[in-house]
Structure 1
Amino acid sequence: MLDVTRIKAISLDLDDTLWPIWPTIERAERVLHDWMVHNTPMAATLFSSPSALREIRDYMSTNRPDLRYDLSAVRRESIRLALYRAGENPLLAEEAFEVFFAERQRVTLFDDALPALEHLAQRFPLVSISNGNADVGRVGLARFFRASISAREFGVGKPDPRIFLAAAGAIDVQPEDVLHIGDDATLDVLGALNAGMQAGWVNRADHLWPHELQPQVTLAHLGELADLFR
């Protein structure tokens, strides 16, 4: 059971907790492809091949383990490799990535996200914890968060307890005083529980809980989280 009397801060996942990620990524990839059609047409042809893209991703995973927690670098270097293989100028990778990245920040929040953030930010310091490459400033949500911790900058991602401990330290509270909220049963919930936090699972699609260890609270949407503190 959730002990609301212990909560002094809330940490939040971003992708698929505050907004759906795959519509965002798919739109950003379409914008990138359109840019390539006009600027690097040979690479655009390569990017139209699912098998070629899969091979590039496999290559990056095998040969650049140092980029494991930096999705931006993985994306940028994958573009660079595609440009090189297509006979295009690999120096255009930076510009191409920025086209993708700018569109990736244009998220559409779940209907319950903004009202919940507005309410919770008045009650608690909030900190974001993400394995992804969303930028809360560019997304337009920086005013709600006291701090933001990303796997790319920290060098370790969820579910490693260290990134949760870093989030607690960033807002000057103990881990046991933090409630972490996220959609991923393993990365968010188990990671937070193993770091000594309380954890809430955002289960928008009514999935079955897959682990023996249980979250303190399960939420169908973030409005239910806000209601806990009214």
Structure 2
Amino acid sequence: MLNPAQVRAITLDLDDTLWPILPTLERAEARLQSWLDAEAPATADQWRAPEYRRALRAEVNRDHAAHAHDMSHLRREMIALALRRAGDDAALAEPAFEVFFAARQCVECYADALPALERLAARYPLVSLSNGNADLHRVGLGAHFKAQVSAREAGVAKPDPRIFSLAAEAAGVAPHQVLHIGDDALLDVLGALDAGMQTVWVNRERQHWAHAPRQPHLTVADLHQLCTALALPA
């Protein structure tokens, strides 16, 4: 059961917690495809096939396992490999990545996200904690957060307890004083529990909890419910 009196700071996952990630990535892929069509047609013809991209991703993930926590590195390498395979200039990998990365920051938040962030930030220091490569300032949410911690910067990814400890340090509190909020049962909830934090599972899709007897301290369908549970002013 959640103990609000113990909470001194909040860490928040981003993708699928504040915004849906699939449509964001689909738009970014479409923007990259258009850029490749114009700048690297041979690569574009191959890149268009989802199965080709899946094979590239698997190869890059295997060959760059030491960078598994760094989504930006893996994406750059994937684009560079595609360019080389097609006989295009591999130097185009960086501008191509920037096209994708800029589009990846164009998120559409869930309806409850912005009002909830305002209410949460009015009481607690907020720290984002993500395995992804969203940039809070480019997304437009940086003003609500004290800090952002990413797997790329930390060198490890959720559910590793070390990244949760880094987020607690960024918030200026001990792990047991942190409430971590996220949508992923394994990466967010179990990871935060292992780090000694209280946890909130944001279960927008009404999924079954499959990790009993371990449980989140609170399960909510959206962030409005969380704000109510914390007795935050509307």
- Give the TM-score, by structure 2 length: 0.97
- The one-letter code sitting in structure 1 at the alignment partner of 2:210 is P
User: Residues 102-134 of structure 1: CA distance to partner in whole angstroms, max 9, x if unpaired?
Assistant: 000000000000000001100000001000000
Length, aligned pairs only: 230
What residue is the counterpart of 1:117 in the other structure? 117
Partners of 2:43 and 2:62 in 1: CA distance: 22
Partners of 1:86 and 1:203 in 2: CA distance: 42
What residue is the counterpart of 1:96 in the other structure? 96
* CA apart distance, 1:229: 2.7
What residue is the counterpart of 2:215 in the other structure? 214
- Which stretches in structure 2 are left out of the alignment for 5+ residues? none
RMSD, aligned CA: 0.7
What residue is the counterpart of 1:166 in the other structure? 166
What residue is the counterpart of 1:148 in the other structure? 148
Q: In the alignment, does 2:224 pair up with 1:223?
A: yes
What residue is the counterpart of 2:31 in the other structure? 31
| Secondary structure class of the residue paired with 2:2 | coil
Partners of 2:35 and 2:225 in 1: CA distance: 41
What residue is the counterpart of 2:55 in the other structure? 55
- Give the TM-score, by structure 1 length: 0.99
* CA apart distance, 1:52: 2.0
| Secondary structure class of the residue paired with 1:148 | strand
Partners of 2:62 and 2:161 in 1: CA distance: 25
* CA apart distance, 1:99: 0.3
Partners of 2:120 and 2:186 in 1: CA distance: 24
Partners of 1:87 and 1:166 in 2: CA distance: 42
- The one-letter code sitting in structure 1 at the alignment partner of 2:218 is V
Partners of 1:145 and 1:9 in 2: CA distance: 11
Partners of 1:4 and 1:37 in 2: CA distance: 52
* CA apart distance, 1:49: 2.0
User: Residues 192-220 of structure 1: CA distance to partner in whole angstroms, max 9, x if unpaired?
Assistant: 00100000000001101010100000010
Partners of 2:129 and 2:51 in 1: CA distance: 32
What residue is the counterpart of 2:20 in the other structure? 20
Q: In the alignment, does 2:152 pair up with 1:138?
A: no
- The one-letter code sitting in structure 1 at the alignment partner of 2:48 is S
- The one-letter code sitting in structure 2 at the alignment partner of 1:35 is W
Q: In the alignment, does 2:181 pair up with 1:181?
A: yes
